Structures are given as structure tokens and as C-alpha cells.
Amino acid sequence: LPDLLDSSFDRTYTSIHDFSFLLKCYLLDPINHDKELVISKYKETFVPRGFKVLGYGAHSVVLHSDEFFSSHIFKFSKLDLSVENKIKEILGILIYYPNLAVPNKYFTSSPLYRKGTLTAYIQNNPNLTHLELLEKFYQICLDVRNIHNHNIILRDIKPDNILLDEFDKPHYADFDVSVFDTDKAYDVTGTRFYMAPEVEQNLFKLKYVGYGVKSDIFSLGCVLNYMFNHNYPYSIYTPLIPKKVIYLIDFMRNL
């Protein structure tokens, strides 16, 4: 695989720094011109020949090929410094090999779940019974519990990050922003409509509040709401956040 990738990358593509910056702009303000830049100029970034892009994240690109390794997907990701140091700590590198460099860009592989996301599953199956929905949600809860048992906070539980296999069994599939529960989390990470209150209040930098796996449980409740009501939390009580308010929130975050 490394030889294949080295021989097929186009070296004229932009740097990972520029790519990550544009994706960050896209996620914060997807209605401005940065969205077009990501879709047009960067949609083929880091894509080996024979592969196609399945999706973009804040720190990664998900790739798949029907020609090579058709049963798996590959995620090209960039580590931030805290994750890089955590890997060094786990491997004992900081103690035994302090001068050993660990690449902060890497590929990971996972099975391809051809049924797609939970979002698509709910939209494509509008006649699911309450019992069928509860069974799916129960399976999701078991998956999350298993991850929590390994002291990991997922921090971005939402229907788009839950994939279904050929047997319609759900799997959580995005660990880009996950952290160990032993490290109390304080930053604002995740999708706003699925954030727990203690996470979202850190947006305003008035008082930082640490959070843990309980914040994931709140997000699970928001997923359950979506499965049954097909809408975002609170959207039936308040209108969607106006563009001006989003700009105000982002402005306050930078104060």
C-alpha cells in the first residue's frame, strides 16, 4: 500500500495545512465562498489514482476504491499535537526513544459499511416502526458503552457518524475528535445541535467547564430525537440560528 500511494499521489496538490484551514472555515461558515473552494479546488486533494472521496472531515479525508481493497475505506488524517504526544506516551517513546519522530499524518483503514449513515437510513426507511427504531438505538447504545468502557469520550455523536453494515447493524465510525476520559475535556468540539450544554457554554469563554462521557449521553438523546422526530433538537421550539447570530457567536469566541 505505501508504494502504491507514493507512486500515485500528485505532488502539485496543496499542503495539509492549507487543506485543514479551508475545511475549518467550511465547517464554521459553510455558506460563504470557502465552501466552493473546498468542493472545487480541493475535492481531489490527496486522492491516489483509482480512489474516490467519500467525505471530508475537519481533520481527514475518507477514500475508497472499487479496484483496490474494495471491502475497506481509508482515512487520511492529521494528528494535532496532543494526540501525537498521547501516542508517544502509550508507545513509551517519550521515555525510551525521546528523539524518535512520529509522523503527524497517517492512514487508517476500516471496513466499508455500504448501507451508509444512520441519517440516510432513517430518510430512506420512513415506515420503520417504533420497535425497530428502539432496537437500532439500543444497538447504538451498546456500541457507545463498549467505547466508554475503554475510557474514551467520543465528543461528536450524531447520525452522520453512525454507519450501518450489510445486516443493518449500526457502528460508530468517527474518532477524529475523541479523547481519553482520563484527560478532562474543556474545548468546544462536536456538532452544535448535538452538543451537551456544558460543552456549548465553553463557546463563550466566560467560564470553562470540564466534561466527560456524560456529554456523549446527551448527544445520544439528541440522536434518539432525530430517529423518531426527523429534526434537530429544539428546532420545533425555536427557529434555526440566523446567520447573523452565528457570526456573533463566532465573534465572541475570539474575544
pLDDT, tens only, 151-207? 889 989 999 999 999 999 999 988 878 887 665 677 777 787 888 888 877 776 656
List the beta bridge partners of residue 180: 152
Closest CA to 134 of 170, 172, 166: 170
6 compared with 106, residue with greater pLDDT: 106
- Indicate the helix (H) or strand (E) that contains 5: helix 2-8
DSSP state of 185: B
237 compared with 155, residue with greater pLDDT: 155
Buried b (16+ CB within 10 A) or exposed e, 34-52: beeebeeebeebbbbeebe
> Residue 157, Cβ neighbours under 10 Å: how many?
25
pLDDT in tens, 78-120: 666 666 676 667 666 666 666 666 666 667 778 888 888 999 9
The answer to whether 10 is a known catalytic residue is: no
Residues 161, 32: Cα–Cα separation, whole Å: 24
For the whole model, what pTM was predicted?
0.66
Which entry of 6, 10, 66, 156 is annotated as an active-site residue? 156
